[in-house]
Every structure is written in C-alpha cells, then in structure tokens.
Structure 1
Amino acid sequence: MNHASLDDFLKHGTATLAKGPVALIFVEDAVELDSTLRHHLQCGFKAVVALMPPAFELADDLEDTVHRVAFDCSHPQAVFDAVNRVIEAAPGVWLYYGYNAEYLFFPFCETRSIGEMLAFHTEERRDAMLTYVIDLYADDLENCPSAVSLERAHLDRAGYYALARPDPGNHNHPKERQLDFFGGLRWRFEEHIPAPSRRIDRIALFRAKPGLRLRSDHTFSDEEYNTYACPWHHNLTAAICSFRTAKALKANPGSTFDIDTFRWRKSVPFEWHSRQLLDLGLMEPGQWF
C-alpha cells in the first residue's frame, strides 16, 4: 500500500478515505515510527496513513497494514496544506492528524475504539474534538540523550493553565468557548520556544466538510470547530502524549546544552493508560461513561 506522492494517494486512495476514522501520521524523523503507527492501529482507526520520506523503513508487520505516502514535511506549512487537501477529498469523514513519537489517548481507550468514541461525539452534534498535547520526556538524559524512551517516559502532573482567546475582529474580547492552553515543557522552557508554538491545544480530531480549512496555528476556519465544548454541557476531550517537544529541545543546538534534565518536582512516570490522564485532569470524559 505504497503511494508515490500525496497526489497519487488522493487519486488512487479514494477507498481508504471513503470511511473513517482515518489517522494521518506525519513523519518528521525515524524516532519511534513503528510504535506510533502500531498504537494508532490499535486505537481502531479504519485506516492509518503514514506520510513519510521514502528513505525511511517500516517494520514488516506494518507494510501490509499502513498506507505509506511519500511526503516531505520539513517545510512548516507542508503538514497544514496536506491536511487541507485530504479534507477536500474526504467530506464527512472523521480525521485525525499527528506526528511520529505522538500517541493519541482518549477516555477508556483500553476497552473502547476510536470509532465508538466518535460515534458518541457525533450524537452530541459535535464535529471536532479538542486534544491536549501532553509532553513526554525521558527521566535520564545521560542514558537517553534524545529524551525519548517508552520505558522511562515521564510527564508533568501539574503546571497547566488556560487563558482567554482574544478575538481581533471583536475588539479583542474573549472568543466564546475557546481558550489557549499552556503547560508542560513548552511552559517550563518557554525561553527556547517561539511564542506562536507555546500552546498545547490542537483540534486533532475533526470531521471534514467542504470549505473547511486548517490554519497554521492548529485552529480551523470554522470557529465552532475550535471550541472546547458545546453551549449546554461539557464534551469529551482527548490527549496526545508527545515526545516532539522534548526531542526538539535536545536536538536544537540553541537549547540542548542548557538542559541537563527535564525532571522536576512535579514529574511522574507515564503509565501509558487513559486512567492516569483522566485522574490528572488532562482529558475530559464529558457525558461518556
């Protein structure tokens, strides 16, 4: 299931995009590529699409189960343009987009599929779901210099906060049911993070529709897609547990020598279970029990 380009996939992969949910995994490097793809297959996605450089290799068990699309996401805008092209090709289909070394968790994901959750979310008349990008990092950078280790993964149990999202079109009054969320490594090491990249909120799960556009700040052209809940009650949210920030901070010459460890007094081992994220308030079950 190899495609020479995104154009080739959109031309010949129409059956893949006919029924969701579909996961789009953008591959920036080879770090934890196989584990990322296996995780999302286990979530129950109807299809997992890996948009990746041709030089990267996949494990044998993934060659027949993952749709591989030759793609270069080194340009910052490339991912957003690609998502928008898939949106145009798959109206009505639920999509997820993320990167390698990122792992989607949602309430009760150990016993329920992504399709079951999105069916409930759809019944609540929601077409998008807020996800929080929760930074993961290895606890020992001497033994794990890339900051990536599944076995030694840690996260921050506190230090998350939200600010009102100003509306430039309305005298900077707060937007209704929209917030900017912060925390994790992007907060603790913000001097190394560009201001536009410090937010940890991403609308990573959404239903495509004609005219919908993903913007370069991870928000959508339809403002209702950017809301964290409907007007009448709380809705489901999910978490993306991600090594991206940690590995970037250690790979960047401007920050790597300033960081001896990512651990602090509020670091805890990541248990790789949705219950921990629910207990820490890092995602919301809403009315789904």
Structure 2
Amino acid sequence: MTNTIATYDDLAAFQRSETTLKGPVAIVLVEDTVEVQSTLDHLVKLGFATLVVMARPSDVIELPDTVPTIRVGWRNDRVGAVPAAVNAVAENGPGLWMHYCFNAEYLFFPFCETRRVGEMLAFHTEERRFSMLTYVVDLYGADVGNAVDRDGAHLDASGYYASVRPDPENHNHPKERQLDFHGGLRWRFEEHVPAHRRRIDRIGLFRAKPGVALLDDHTFTEPEYNTYSCPWHNNLTAAICSFRAAKALTTNAGSRHDIDSFMWFRSEPFRWHSQQLLDLGLMEPGQWF
C-alpha cells in the first residue's frame, strides 16, 4: 500500500489545494518511464521527507510506501513547463528546502552514504546559504544501445571547465560568484546540443521563498541563489548524476545515428559513491567534515 497523501490532475489543481508539505521536499519531474522507480528509491534513501511526483496521469508508477508522496499530472511538452512545476511546489512550501530532478537522475552530496540530506541542509542553512550549486554529471552505458545502464554506468573523469557568467547590465564585469560550468556528454557532443542547454550547473537544492522563482535556464530570479559560495569561504556543493543527456542523444533524430559510442579514454566506471565525485572535484565539502 502506497503512502500517497494526495493526487491532483494538474498543476492548477495542486496550486488550489492546501496540501501541507514537510521538508526537505524532493520534486521528481517524470519525462518518460525510464528508471523512475530507482530515482524515487534513491531519494527515499537520502532522507527526503516528502516526494512530489510530476508525471503524466497515464504513467504507471509504483510510489514509495514509506514516505508521504504527492502525485501531480504534468508533462514536459512546452517551454516553461519545468519552472512552472517547481515554482508551484515552492509556493506551497515557503521556507522549506527543496530538490528537483528528472527521472534517471540521482542526487549525491558529500558523505551522503552516512549522513542524511536534512543534516546537510541544516549545516548549509547555518552558513546562511539558501541555495546549493549542483553539477549535473552525465552518466552513460558502455554500449550506446543501452545508454541507461545503472550496473554498467560510466562518467567522464575530466573535460570539465568553467567560464565567467556575463552580466547584461554591466558589460565590464561578470556576475559576482557565478560561473557557467561545462563538461560531460554535452561538451563532447556539443554539435548535437543547443547552446543554451550545454551548461551542467543547476541550482538543484534551494529554500523556497516568496517572490523567488526558478527560470527555464535552471537559475533563479534572486541573484544570490545562483552563486556557488558565500563571499567568505567555499561552501558545500553537490552533484546530480544523470542519464538524461545519454537518453536524449540516443533518441533524438538529429543525433542517434551519428554516435557510435559514448566511451573515450577518460571514461571510468561510476561507483555510485560520493567519494568518487569528491576525488574528481565534481562536488565540494566546504567547511563540513
């Protein structure tokens, strides 16, 4: 028996509701039926208190029976669908920490094997941080015909870089403590990825605040939410290990016939452990030890 506390036909019905959320909240944006179950199981293991599953009503999904779960009818079929979904949940839970991801994506943070997400976010809040930069680390199978292969997942061990983020209002200076990060499959196969989708940085964890909204480019309307650290020292960062790019590259008509393999000399097996991501510099423990 599932622990579903509410089901809504669409975002409008959810927004009209008075459903009480308990944080931290995980929002799962279901685009297809690939690895939905493993994504939900991973979030439960990390310690999220509430799951909000955004999916097509026709999708058959086995919801967890141990965590309160809300299901909302949704599909990613138009520009702005993602921020609309995330912002709808944020409006229902002001003050709560939230994480959003797509199916076949898995959040990792430093020491997540022994510490729960609530502990990490409590420390981050004590440092007066209300958002956390996450790097989207592309995962892929060794066989391009099986791009989403959890048992045989690989990642790129190098090829990541950052560039300054221009400030349209001040052409002489870049934005303070904001960078555009690149790498992974989006970098190696950039000819198949639109320029505005090549970044791998995402503010994947944030504290909901009235008047602060997610934008379509995975940044927020509040500039401080988009920073990688405070002005005084390095802060925690996390990683979202994602099969999403591999799925897209092997299904989109413009790329699926041009890619014979995702493997290259800097591919290495993914060990599903935060220490590997720390060793590769794909997340930062900051002052949390």
Same fold (TM over 0.5): yes
Per-residue deviation, 1:12? 3.6
* Structure-1 residue corresponding to 2:220: 220
* Structure-2 residue corresponding to 1:156: 156
Counterpart residue identity of residue 102, structure 1: E
Percentage of matched positions with identical amino acids? 62
* Structure-2 residue corresponding to 1:35: 38
How far apart, CA to CA, are the structure 1 residues paired with 2:17 and 2:46? 25
Quickly say closer, same or farther: Cα 1:238–1:64, change in 2 above 3 A: closer
TM-score (normalised: structure 1): 0.95
Quickly say closer, same or farther: Cα 1:231–1:64, change in 2 above 3 A: closer
* Structure-2 residue corresponding to 1:232: 232
Q: Secondary structure at the match of 1:258?
A: coil
How far apart, CA to CA, are the structure 2 residues paired with 1:60 and 1:130? 28
* Structure-2 residue corresponding to 1:173: 173
Q: Is the 8 A contact 2:131 2:225 kept in 1?
A: yes
Counterpart residue identity of residue 114, structure 2: T
Query: What's the CA shift string for 1:253-277, capped at 9, x where partnerless?
Result: 1101110100000000000000110
* Structure-2 residue corresponding to 1:22: 25
Quickly say closer, same or farther: Cα 1:256–1:91, change in 2 above 3 A: same
Counterpart residue identity of residue 229, structure 1: S
Per-residue deviation, 1:63? 9.3
Q: Is the 8 A contact 2:165 2:178 kept in 1?
A: yes
Identify the match of residue 9 of structure 1 among 14, 22, 25: 14
Q: Is the 8 A contact 1:28 1:74 kept in 2?
A: no
1:114 is the counterpart of 2:129: no
TM-score (normalised: structure 2): 0.95
Identify the match of residue 103 of structure 2 among 93, 100, 110: 100
1:138 is the counterpart of 2:150: no
How far apart, CA to CA, are the structure 1 residues paired with 2:229 and 2:107? 19
Q: Secondary structure at the match of 1:130?
A: strand
Counterpart residue identity of residue 70, structure 2: H
Return structure 1 stretches of 4+ with deviation > 6 angstroms.
none
Q: Is the 8 A contact 2:141 2:262 kept in 1?
A: yes
Quickly say closer, same or farther: Cα 1:13–1:47, change in 2 above 3 A: farther
Q: 5+ residue gaps in structure 2? A: none
Q: Is the 8 A contact 2:185 2:246 kept in 1?
A: yes
How far apart, CA to CA, are the structure 1 residues paired with 2:238 and 2:154? 18
Per-residue deviation, 1:247? 0.5
How far apart, CA to CA, are the structure 1 residues paired with 2:66 and 2:11? 18
Q: 5+ residue gaps in structure 1? A: none
Q: Secondary structure at the match of 1:39?
A: helix
Q: Is the 8 A contact 1:128 1:207 kept in 2?
A: yes
Quickly say closer, same or farther: Cα 1:232–1:8, change in 2 above 3 A: same
Q: Secondary structure at the match of 1:262?
A: coil
How far apart, CA to CA, are the structure 2 residues paired with 1:240 and 1:278? 13
* Structure-2 residue corresponding to 1:206: 206
Q: Secondary structure at the match of 2:221?
A: coil
Q: Superposition RMSD on alpha carbons, in Å?
A: 1.4
